[in-house]
Structure 1
Amino acid sequence: MSCLNPLRFIKTKSLRIVALSFILGYSLSLTPVWAQGNPTAPITLDGRQLFKVSQLEGFEAQPRADYANQILNRVVQSGDPVQVKVVEIKDLPVIRVNGLNLLTVTEKDAPEGMLKEEQAELWRDRIDVAIKLAQEQRRPGYIRQALLISVGCVLLAIALTSVLGSICHRLLQRLIRQQETVPEATAPTRSLELFLKFTLALVRTALWLAVALYTSNQFPQTRVWSQKIADLVVYSLASPIIPLGDKSYSVIQIIILVGLFYGLLIVTKTVKNVLRSRVLGLTGMNRGAQETIAIIANYTLILIGSVVLLQLWGLDLSSITIFAGVLGVGIGLGLQGIAKEFVSGLVIIFERPIQVGDFVNVGDFMGTVERISVRSTEIRTLDLVSIIVPNSRFLEKEVVNWSHSSFVTRIKLPIGVAYGSDLTKVRELLIDATKDYPDVVSEPPPNVIFRGYGDNSLNLELLVWIKEPRKQFIIKSDLYFRIDAILRDRNIEIPFPQRDLYVRSGSLPIELSPQLEASLENWLKKYGNGANQRD
């Protein structure tokens, strides 16, 4: 297996490279097809655009440019000294390179206000400089210098990537510490951490892309491919290919729109946190009411901000009705669960059967409600574990809300004392055990109920009211410690299960067979007589 895995990895990687090369080559082969129909075509040398030629009557712009580009590449590859000049043929200036007719300049090639002869001279100078520069960049000295620059750029990119990763790690650690120390209303949310990681990945990708383009532009052999790839990427991103209503939008425009929506979500969440922690906290409302108002304000701002963004973007809202129809069909066919949780979340937010800060029992889970969203509710258990509960469970099943419509909760402590104990005295001792305990409220007062006669004890029940239901297990434990100490101090017996066993004596009727009776008689005669003689 250790020998097969590297081979499999190399084979898979090679197949990916071949497939990527095929797709890239096919995409680059489509570049001339995209260029067809354009009134101009570029004259390039080693990937650098010199100028553009126009379309003539009977001659397309692209064939003219292709012919000129082939001659320029042939001259550069030959390495011969360059001689570029302008000659006049049939009253038209013609640019010649080493005796070869490169390009005929016409009135359509010259901009308004410039003669065709002036345009030809300008292009001649550009061609002369470009050919000499291309020949210079093919010399060994320049290639060595370009290699050193490329290696330096790669090393610099590695160092910058490491520095950016270190900075992002420190920021994340600071966010985590701030989230642990600062109240959750002002602490950075997880979305901010995801945004930071996404920004780091985007910056790293842009950095390596810039390094790849820069290093490829250093060499004339790779500059052509980098230019084609750049043109392909620009065409793919900048061309309007996504129709929405009467307009079409490019990929870059859609990415910008998505980025604006993401920024809108961050702004609305920040406003929600500030409203909840700085504004609503001063009103004296309870935590559940503050959370409800903050959630309603958050979704209202998202709705208004989305409409404003779409209007500023120039998108007619009536043109996206088809998407609303598709969304409705999707909800009807495959998103029933999400729709159910969404509606349940709205019911919980507005009806408020549970609120943030309530202490609840949901199935086997018991804890404090920390967050309510339109899809789920977060409960923090007594073990400080976060449980994400779908909202529909709060409406479809029984939920115990210890904090609903009341600030205090009653707990029960079953107690058994031995038969013969003075119940009046025991009742006073149990009530005394709850006095001066800080978490037991005085109103309503504690009470003791006689539940009945048990198998081994007189069963009582101590009822006390507490103001912190999440601490009920600690309170029960402390009260039981107090009760046990008081009952032992007053010699009140706490019974344990007992069972009495009675054994009755008597004769047992046993029937023996004749053979067994005869054997016993012989044994008695034999050994009985011997015993009598010894006596």
Structure 2
Amino acid sequence: MWHKKLFLIVLAIAVTGFILVTNTFPGLTQAKYGPRAIEDLPIRSNPTVLQAPVVIDGRELFSVGKIGNTSAGERVSLIRDELLKAIRNDVVPQVTIEQREGLSVVYLVYPQSPSGLAKNSNSNPIEERRYLFTVTQEDTIGRKSIRETAEDLKTQIEQAMAIAKKERSPAYLKRQGIISAALLLFGLLASRLLTQLQTYPLRRAIQRIIPGLPSNASSQPSNLTTLFRLKLGLAQFILWTTITLVIFRLLPATRHWLYYLYNLIASSFAISIFNLGGKDFSIIRLLILIGLVVGAIFLSNYIANLLRTNVLEATRMTRGSQEIISIITKYGLIAFSTVILLQANGIDLSSLALIGSALGVGIGFGFQDIARNFASGIVLLFERSIQVGDFIQIGQHLGVVEEVRTRSIILKTLDRISIIVPNSRLLSDEVINWNHRHSVVRLHLPIGVAYGSDVKKVKSALLQAASEHLEVLRNPAPQVFFTGFGESSLDFELLIWTSDPSRQAPLMSDLCFRIEEIFQAQQIDIPFPQRDINLKMEDMPIKLPPKLEGHLLYLLQGLIAQQYNGKANQDSSNTTPTSKS
């Protein structure tokens, strides 16, 4: 941040110095400030153009055309030089028009100074006339004649010279300098406020800028998002850009320099950078074409969404069919509008064959995964094996298809987590689609009961639990199968049908709760694994060999004796009397 503050300080010092150095006495006398190099910058114009503008102090006065071998730009340069000399001169010239051979010739007439009149008192006063330009048919405005155009141009030149002389007066420069300083001060305060808003709320930020305001010590720094901080930074950039442009337009020299910069940038952007299909494309034309294509893409997307939400939903079509029609409509409109825009800009589509072949090679090497996913998305759209709203399982992911795109699908799991799955994986891997062609599926719930339970009572209890649940279909009816004899239980399996596969987890949980409740009411036990251990008591107690038995007895006696001796030594140390002093 230090370099920004340094720049602002230097800019403020420069404006203040400009105000102090400039002659502050009022009047119309021109101020002798600075070099005239900025003011004399030529405005570049293309020599092939038919007309070019005459610019004084960054303002366009009028335009002149080409005469014979003299280009419009050369005529503008001569006219502008004469006007600048007249503006810088202390004597205000008069603009006169003379008619010669049906053309109007414009002159600048300078009256002779009083000293010159005193020296030539015996002779007639001599006026200095300087040729400005000749008004031709190429210079006429609209349907006016050459004489009417010359009169209009005379009025414009007189007004422009009066304004230019006034803008060079010390009073005007002083006023504009004060305005510039006020704008810089406002920019500093506003920039400081925006900087504080990145850390503190509005009230606290104002208190940190303006001293003396009552502050709230309990206010804490605000937690702003990165996007909001970027917006504040963009606001600072726009603020200083606007202030800089306004200050540059306050003074004639800087205004002319700004116009020169605009003209240079515009001429650079207007230069042809490449040729396609016999048409020259400049940067501006290319940007306009790209903007129109981007606008067509956004408009196509809006029309497709409008078609899906307002038209297709009213037809009660499936979400998958709606998605297919909207995608085809969107890409069809994009392709159609792109072709129309290219044709309107004079681009022959046959000339794009080389570019298409190069793109094909690039896709084959660098974008083969994208191309594979795109082709897989087209296959899925027309095959309709996976549609929006289907409940699918791919790998370990189980969820509902939220969106089918040309490159991938959006799968929302039961945990409400969105997973982006490439379309090529849907064609290469095994995918379980619970909603393919119909949404009615059968679920399996295994149940085990203890040996000795009444199997008919178990079957009745399971069917009762299934029939009481609202999400279990009555047709096909639930079924109970006795699957076999397990290690610890009699194994059964409850088969139920449901029309919403995405609800299978809560459905199975509800059934388990209800089955356990019915089993407890009917005293049906659910077993757990059991193991029986049988021990033979024939060899108990264990008989040891005599020699081993003797060694063990010897070790045992030694341990007992060692423990007894240690205890006796400890008791004797505790009963020893202390000596008297």
TM-score clears 0.5: yes
Whose helix proportion is higher, 1 or 2? 1
Cα distance 1:248–1:504, how it changes in 2: closer, same or farther (>3 A)?
same
Cα distance 1:119–1:401, how it changes in 2: closer, same or farther (>3 A)?
closer
Distance 2:471 2:531 in 1: 40
- Equivalent of 1:95 in 67, 87, 107: 107
- 1:484: how far off? 0.3
The residue type paired with residue 217 of structure 1 is R
The residue type paired with residue 107 of structure 2 is I
> Would the aligned equivalents of 2:471 and 2:498 in 1 still touch at CA under 8 Å?
yes
Q: Which moved more, 1:301-310 or 1:393-402?
A: 301-310
* Paired residue secondary structure (1:218): coil
> Would the aligned equivalents of 1:412 and 1:462 in 2 still touch at CA under 8 Å?
yes
- 1:266: how far off? 3.5
Distance 1:461 1:518 in 2: 64
- Equivalent of 1:434 in 466, 469, 482: 466
> Would the aligned equivalents of 2:86 and 2:93 in 1 still touch at CA under 8 Å?
no
> Would the aligned equivalents of 1:417 and 1:458 in 2 still touch at CA under 8 Å?
yes
Distance 1:320 1:307 in 2: 12
Confirm whether residue 322 of structure 1 aligns to residue 360 of structure 2. no
> Would the aligned equivalents of 1:87 and 1:96 in 2 still touch at CA under 8 Å?
no
Q: Which moved more, 1:43-52 or 1:467-476?
A: 43-52
- 1:251: how far off? 3.7
Once the two structures are superposed, what CA deviation does each residue of 1:352-380 show, in whole Å capped at 9, x if it has no partner? 11111110112222111111111111122
Q: Which moved more, 1:128-137 or 1:54-63?
A: 54-63
> Would the aligned equivalents of 1:93 and 1:117 in 2 still touch at CA under 8 Å?
no
Distance 2:556 2:146 in 1: 154
Cα distance 1:461–1:6, how it changes in 2: closer, same or farther (>3 A)?
farther
Once the two structures are superposed, what CA deviation does each residue of 1:487-530 show, in whole Å capped at 9, x if it has no partner? 1111111112323334443132423359737848999xx9xxxx
Cα distance 1:408–1:518, how it changes in 2: closer, same or farther (>3 A)?
closer
Confirm whether residue 105 of structure 1 aligns to residue 133 of structure 2. yes
User: What's 2:442 paired with?
Assistant: 410
Cα distance 1:514–1:216, how it changes in 2: closer, same or farther (>3 A)?
closer
Cα distance 1:202–1:258, how it changes in 2: closer, same or farther (>3 A)?
farther
Distance 1:472 1:384 in 2: 16
User: What's 1:138 paired with?
Assistant: 168
* Paired residue secondary structure (1:389): strand
* Paired residue secondary structure (2:403): strand
> Would the aligned equivalents of 1:53 and 1:65 in 2 still touch at CA under 8 Å?
yes
> What RMSD, in angstroms, separates the aligned Cα atoms of the two structures?
4.5
User: What's 2:304 paired with?
Assistant: 272
Confirm whether residue 469 of structure 1 aligns to residue 501 of structure 2. yes
Distance 1:154 1:395 in 2: 65
> Would the aligned equivalents of 1:82 and 1:128 in 2 still touch at CA under 8 Å?
no
- 1:31: how far off? 6.3
Confirm whether residue 361 of structure 1 aligns to residue 393 of structure 2. yes
Confirm whether residue 44 of structure 1 aligns to residue 55 of structure 2. yes
User: What's 2:575 paired with?
Assistant: none
The residue type paired with residue 133 of structure 2 is V
Distance 2:185 2:425 in 1: 55
TM-score by length of 1: 0.72
Distance 1:40 1:521 in 2: 127
Cα distance 1:302–1:479, how it changes in 2: closer, same or farther (>3 A)?
same
Confirm whether residue 507 of structure 1 aligns to residue 519 of structure 2. no
Distance 2:433 2:397 in 1: 12
- 1:264: how far off? 3.1
User: What's 1:166 paired with?
Assistant: none
- For residues 376-525 of structure 1, the aligned pairs below 5 Å read 376-505=408-537, 506-511=540-545, 512-513=547-548, 516=551, 519=554
Q: Which moved more, 1:135-144 or 1:384-393?
A: 135-144
User: What's 1:182 paired with?
Assistant: none
- 1:133: how far off? 1.4
Distance 1:37 1:294 in 2: 50
Q: Which moved more, 1:51-60 or 1:382-391?
A: 51-60
> Would the aligned equivalents of 2:183 and 2:243 in 1 still touch at CA under 8 Å?
no
The residue type paired with residue 346 of structure 1 is I
User: What's 1:192 paired with?
Assistant: none
- 1:47: how far off? 1.9
TM-score by length of 2: 0.67
* Paired residue secondary structure (1:379): strand
Distance 1:520 1:58 in 2: 133
- 1:399: how far off? 0.7
The residue type paired with residue 95 of structure 1 is Y
- 1:9: how far off? 11
Paired positions, count: 462
The residue type paired with residue 83 of structure 1 is P
Distance 1:522 1:121 in 2: 142
> Would the aligned equivalents of 1:107 and 1:115 in 2 still touch at CA under 8 Å?
no
Which of these two proteins has the greater Rg computed from alpha carbons?
Answer: 2
> Would the aligned equivalents of 1:370 and 1:380 in 2 still touch at CA under 8 Å?
yes
The residue type paired with residue 257 of structure 2 is W
Distance 1:119 1:292 in 2: 64
Q: Which moved more, 1:239-248 or 1:54-63?
A: 54-63
- 1:57: how far off? 6.9
The residue type paired with residue 352 of structure 1 is R
Distance 1:271 1:93 in 2: 61
> Would the aligned equivalents of 1:379 and 1:389 in 2 still touch at CA under 8 Å?
yes
Distance 2:336 2:251 in 1: 52
Cα distance 1:363–1:98, how it changes in 2: closer, same or farther (>3 A)?
farther
Cα distance 1:7–1:448, how it changes in 2: closer, same or farther (>3 A)?
same
Q: Which moved more, 1:301-310 or 1:359-368?
A: 301-310
Distance 2:46 2:272 in 1: 16
- 1:456: how far off? 2.2
Alignment gaps of 5+ in structure 2: 11-36, 112-127, 195-232, 562-581
User: What's 2:258 paired with?
Assistant: 226
* Paired residue secondary structure (1:420): coil
* Paired residue secondary structure (2:468): coil
Distance 2:487 2:456 in 1: 21
> Would the aligned equivalents of 2:41 and 2:257 in 1 still touch at CA under 8 Å?
no
Once the two structures are superposed, what CA deviation does each residue of 1:216-267 show, in whole Å capped at 9, x if it has no partner? 3332121112211222343344555453312224444444433433343344
Distance 2:84 2:170 in 1: 19
> Would the aligned equivalents of 1:360 and 1:400 in 2 still touch at CA under 8 Å?
yes
> Would the aligned equivalents of 2:439 and 2:501 in 1 still touch at CA under 8 Å?
no
- For residues 281-320 of structure 1, the aligned pairs below 5 Å read 281-320=313-352
The residue type paired with residue 92 of structure 2 is V
Alignment gaps of 5+ in structure 1: 15-24, 163-200, 527-535
* Paired residue secondary structure (1:456): coil
- 1:461: how far off? 1.8
* Paired residue secondary structure (1:435): helix
Distance 2:256 2:462 in 1: 93
- 1:432: how far off? 1.0
* Paired residue secondary structure (1:353): coil
Cα distance 1:70–1:286, how it changes in 2: closer, same or farther (>3 A)?
closer
The residue type paired with residue 510 of structure 2 is D
* Paired residue secondary structure (1:405): coil
Q: Which moved more, 1:436-445 or 1:505-514?
A: 505-514
Distance 1:468 1:144 in 2: 81
The residue type paired with residue 167 of structure 2 is Q
- 1:311: how far off? 3.6
> Would the aligned equivalents of 2:56 and 2:80 in 1 still touch at CA under 8 Å?
yes
> Would the aligned equivalents of 1:95 and 1:120 in 2 still touch at CA under 8 Å?
no
Distance 1:61 1:298 in 2: 49
